[in-house]
Structure 1
């Protein structure tokens, strides 16, 4: 049994509703995205040389699945009791984030994560900032997080 594979050009991918987007974020992260016109996407994120928070946000329709390839992250979310809950994740661990959950990630230096977003069903942006969560976490440094994790 032989298989025949043919490369798909970037133009053919675009015509099928698939686009790529590579960018360096304000916090120094590099993001390599593969996005579909149906609102789903895959992203490989490579953290900067210093640890940093991403931007606190939530989605109304999208579910996110984060996988930590190497390094470690601190996942923060506003819990049901409206307190901020923290979770430490390292190589090989993962977390699902459902719609309407205000969340953020702190990536340690050189961490690599993979993010899959799905369920958006449409091309409109489903990303909303969470000033509520930023209020609690944006001033927490890497050392603050290490102390917090040590005592939890």
Structure 2
């Protein structure tokens, strides 16, 4: 087995991108030039919503490694769906579905993005409508909304 250097990987269309987001999350990305990627996200010690968005072409799979998240999705009809996911659970997101994630403190997720064979990059579009509905929901209120599902 031969190791591929960072420089060689970049020439092959694959690079690593790591960031600390405004909400304190740490994101560790492995990104391919075709738009597919893997992202490990580690939340901060304070829970927070990410930014609501949708993709025109990408599919996503969110996997909860540890902790818990709430997945929010906005239907075409305007109906809001909230889904509680704990360690070991996952959710799949199809293109054109406005969605967002609330990550509780000290949570780790894995996100796989695939299926983007388009010249439109990045395939990420803000959903202000979903942000207006969910960003005001604090963790305390969110827990009340889903408390029947949270293990005590």
What TM-score do you get using the length of structure 2 for normalisation? 0.94
Aligned to 1:81: 77
Aligned to 1:70: 66
Displacement after TM superposition at 1:151 (Å):
5.6
Aligned to 2:23: 27
Displacement after TM superposition at 1:79 (Å):
2.4
Structure 1 gaps of 5+ residues are none
- Per-residue CA deviations over 1:65-110 (Å, capped at 9, x if unaligned) read 0100000000001124311100000000000000000000000001
* 3-state SS of 1:148 partner: helix
Aligned to 1:54: 50
Structure 2 gaps of 5+ residues are none
Aligned to 1:11: 7
Aligned to 1:118: 114
Is 1:43 equivalent to 2:4 in the alignment? no
CA distance in structure 1 between the aligned counterparts of 2:10 and 2:85, rounded to whole angstroms: 35
> Post-superposition, which runs of at least 4 consecutive aligned residues in structure 1 deviate over 2 A?
none
* 3-state SS of 1:27 partner: coil
What TM-score do you get using the length of structure 1 for normalisation? 0.94
CA distance in structure 2 between the aligned counterparts of 1:149 and 1:81, rounded to whole angstroms: 22
Aligned residues: 148
Q: Assess if the C-alpha contact under 8 Å between 1:72 and 1:91 holds in 2.
A: yes
Aligned to 1:135: 132
* 3-state SS of 1:115 partner: strand
Aligned to 1:150: 147
Q: Assess if the C-alpha contact under 8 Å between 1:42 and 1:114 holds in 2.
A: yes
CA distance in structure 1 between the aligned counterparts of 2:85 and 2:9, rounded to whole angstroms: 34
Q: Assess if the C-alpha contact under 8 Å between 2:59 and 2:95 holds in 1.
A: yes
